[in-house]
Each structure stands twice: as C-alpha cells, then as structure tokens.
Structure 1
Amino acid sequence: MKKLLPSIVAVSLLALTACNSNKDPEVVSSVSEDPQAAEIANRAPVELPPSIKAEKSMRCQPGNALFFVTFFNGDKQALVRTEKTGPATKLTAVTAGDPLTGEGWTLTGTPTSAKITQPGKGEFTCKG
C-alpha cells in the first residue's frame, strides 16, 4: 500500500498536466468588452480649458477708466469686466497673438500693458 499511493499520485498529476496543452493562463473576467471602444479610440483629442495666467485690474486712459481683466494661458482667451464683481465678457482669438474679440470688445497686449476697445466708448491704453 505504501508503494502504491505515491505512484497513484504521480500518475494523476501526470494526467492533469496533459489536459492543458495551452501554456497561456486562462483569464476569467466578469467585464464585457466596451461596445464603443473603437469609436472612442478614433475621436479627436480633447483640448482642456486654459488655466488662468494673470488677473489684473488695469488703469486706462483716457478718463482714468478701470477694467478688470483675467488673462488665460495660451493667449487665446480673456475675460473683461468693468466692475470687479460685474458680468464678464469673454474675448477669444483663433491663434495666439491675434487680437482677442467678443461682443464688440477688442483687447491686444499683455497683463502689464494692453489696449482695450469698449463698444460705444472707444479705445483705452491700459497698464496693469
């Protein structure tokens, strides 16, 4: 009996190893494939909204006017307010370096020095 038991174990292990001739492990998952995976992979890349570059209160001439301007990274977007907590006007440009425009407004320049054209009021030269 003592000699028979090890030989039975050896034979049964040999039989079990012969059952699976595939050397790759079997992967079991409860997650099915995403039906939109191909569509998502072919989408255009998403451009994130720009982060704030600078928020400036700008003193402008003529008339010692005051504008509150938020400049965004990428130089394609800015927000302009005539009051600190007032409504903002979004100004955009297609490419960096072009004048930012929107709703009759125009802005050119940087956070330290800019020219702002306000609808109905004319052009202002501003320092930040």
Structure 2
Amino acid sequence: MKQYLPLAAIAALGLLSACNNNDQPEVVGGPADPMAEQLKNAAPVELPPSVKVSRQYRCKDNSLLFVDFMSDDKTAIVRTTKEGSPTKLTAPEAGQPFKADGGYEVSGSGTEVTAAFAGKAAQSCHV
C-alpha cells in the first residue's frame, strides 16, 4: 500500500499541472459582426424544392418519360431518356399543368399523366 501512495501523489501533481494558469483575459463575445444589421433586415431565404417523387412513365407511342416532381408541387423536371438533359417545367399554381417554353407540357402528377413535347400531339403516359 505504501508503494502506491507516491505514485498517486505524482499522478495528482500531473493532473494539477495541466490547469491553465494563464492570466490573459478570455474574449467571450468576439468582434462585432460588420454585416449584422444587413442580415437582420434581409428577406427570408427560400430553399429550392427537393424531389418529392420520381416516376418513369411509358407513353402511348411506347416512348419513355422520366419525371421528378418537386416538393413545392409547382415544379417538375422532365427527361425523355434516363440520362438525358433535364427540362424544368413550372405550374402557376399547385394542381395546374406544368409548362415550359418549346411546347413542353405535363398534366397530372400521379400514376397517369398527359404529356406534350415540341410540336407532338398530347398523349397519355402511365407508370
């Protein structure tokens, strides 16, 4: 037991020596933010919508249509091939047809939609 007493004293001294004995003041608040007033008065930030559901449709002419419906219910991203270039379609109100320049239009968002693209007649497409 007497052999452990000096080891315990050395360990306690080691722990005490780790304490901060620095006399420097600690800065808690930090420097003032130069843009604090601008940020306080800034308009709220609206995040872009996320993908709500992605669906692959088979159309009446046997073509495929890939649609990502977004969480704002007013945006859809359409591709005619799986890795094709996306086309963003928007609707003025939720539940109305999604449209884009060039004659792109998609009506509906469930398991069956009606799609018209670049001068082609509208056709029904289903999951």
TM-score, normalisation: structure 2: 0.70
The residue that corresponds to 2:107 in the other structure is 108
The CA distance in 1 between the partners of 2:69 and 2:52, in whole Å, is: 5
User: 2:69 and 2:85 mapped to 1: Cα distance?
Assistant: 16
User: How do residues 1-128 of structure 1 correspond to structure 2 at under 5 angstroms?
Assistant: 28-29=27-28, 31-61=30-60, 63-104=61-102, 105-128=104-127
Unpaired segments of 5 or more residues in structure 1? 1-26
| Percent identical residues | 43
Task: Give me the CA root mean square deviation.
Answer: 1.8
Larger Rg: 1
- The secondary structure found in structure 1 opposite 2:122 is strand
* 1:71 and 1:111 in contact (8 A); partners too: no
1:54–1:111 CA contact under 8 A, matched in 2: no
State how far apart, in whole Å, the 1-side matches of 2:115 and 2:41 are. 41
Shift in Å, 1:28: 4.3
Q: Which has the higher strand share?
A: 1
Aligned residues: 101
SS in 2 for 1:119: coil
Structure 1 length-normalised TM = 0.70
